[in-house]
Structure 1
C-alpha cells in the first residue's frame, strides 16, 4: 500500500484506507462501512446490508504516549464486525474463516499512514452479536489496538540535535560510550 503523504487530522482518511485495504484483501466482500449504530425506528436499513460485509467501529480512544512532535497521540481500539447472512451454508464456520481473513488484512497493516499509525497489536476475534432483530445476519468481531497520531508535526530547530553519536553492534551502551563515533547532521 502506498504511503499517504498527508498528516492525519481526523479519522476519516484512516477509515477510507481501511476500507480500501479490506476490499483489496478480501475479494468477495460486498461492502465495508464505518459502523453507525441505528435506532429501533431505523431497522428497515438492515435490509440494505449485502453480505459479506464489514462494519468498522472505533470503540475506545485513550491518550497515547506523545512523540514530542506536537501531534495528539491516541491508543485506539477498533472492531471490524464481519457480517454474513444466516442463509450462508455452514454460517458459523464461514464466519470463522471470514474473521481469520480479516485478521490477516489487519496484521502489520498501517493503512498507508506510516508516519501517523503504528502496527496493530492485540489482534483477536470472537463471536459477535446478530446485527438484525429478525436474525437474518450473524457476525464475528475482529478487534485490535493501534496507536494513531493526529495533527501536523511541529518540529522546530531547537528539537533537532546538534550532535549525533553512533556505535556499532555489539559495542553499544554505556559500557562502550568512548567507542562511539561522532556523526554529522
Structure 2
C-alpha cells in the first residue's frame, strides 16, 4: 500500500471513531441517492512543494477538503451541518492521523457551501486544511557513516586535533 492510501485509511478511521454520528465516511467518493446521511467525504484537493527535509524524502504540502452533507429535510439541518463542521475543525487540531510521515494539520477553515434556491440537495459544509507529507524513504548515501558525532572549533580542527574533539554530551 502506498503512503497516500495509508493516510486516507487513517483519516477515515479516525473520523469514524471521533465522530460516530456521521453515517458515511469515505475518501474520494461522491454521494448518491443511497448515501446514508450525514456523510463526510474527504480528499486531497491540491499539492505543492514543501520545504525539503534534506533526507531523501520529498515534502509535499497537501490541501485536503472534507465535504460534510446533512439531509436538508431534517429539522435544524443547517445547524447540524455547522456543528459537524466545527467538530471536524476541533478534530484537526494537532492532528497527525497516527502516521509518521505527516506533519500537524494547519490552516484549517470551514465554510458552508452555497445552496441552490429551492433545492432539496443536502446541506453542505466544507472543511479545508493543509498538511505537509514526507513521502519516500529516508536515504543516507554513505553506507559506513555516520560515525560518532563530535565537535571541534577552529582553529583546532583536522586530523592532528582529532583527540581534542568533543561529543555533544561533553559540551553540556
Q: What residue in structure 2 maps to residue 55 of structure 1?
A: 41
Give TM-score, length-normalised by structure 1: 0.73
Q: How does 1:33-182 map to 2 (within 5 A)?
A: 33-36=26-29, 46-114=32-100, 116-129=101-114, 135-157=120-142, 160=146, 162-163=148-149, 182=168
Return closer, same or farther for 1:76/1:95 CA change in 2, 3 Å cut-off.
same
Return closer, same or farther for 1:162/1:156 CA change in 2, 3 Å cut-off.
farther
User: How far did residue 36 of structure 1 move?
Assistant: 3.9
**RCO higher in structure (CA 8 A, sep ≥6):** 1
Return closer, same or farther for 1:14/1:106 CA change in 2, 3 Å cut-off.
same
Query: What stretches of structure 2 of length at least 5 have no aligned partner?
Result: 152-165
Give TM-score, length-normalised by structure 2: 0.78
Query: What stretches of structure 1 of length at least 5 have no aligned partner?
Result: 1-7, 38-44, 166-179
Cα contact 2:149–2:167 (8 A) shared by 1? no
Distance 1:35 1:88 in 2: 25
Q: What residue in structure 2 maps to residue 175 of structure 1?
A: none
Say which one has the larger Rg. Answer: 2
User: How far did residue 141 of structure 1 move?
Assistant: 0.7
Q: What residue in structure 2 maps to residue 10 of structure 1?
A: 3
User: How far did residue 81 of structure 1 move?
Assistant: 0.6
Give the count of matched residue pairs.
154
Q: CA RMSD in A?
A: 2.6
Distance 1:160 1:9 in 2: 29
Return closer, same or farther for 1:89/1:164 CA change in 2, 3 Å cut-off.
farther
Return closer, same or farther for 1:94/1:113 CA change in 2, 3 Å cut-off.
same
Distance 1:31 1:19 in 2: 10
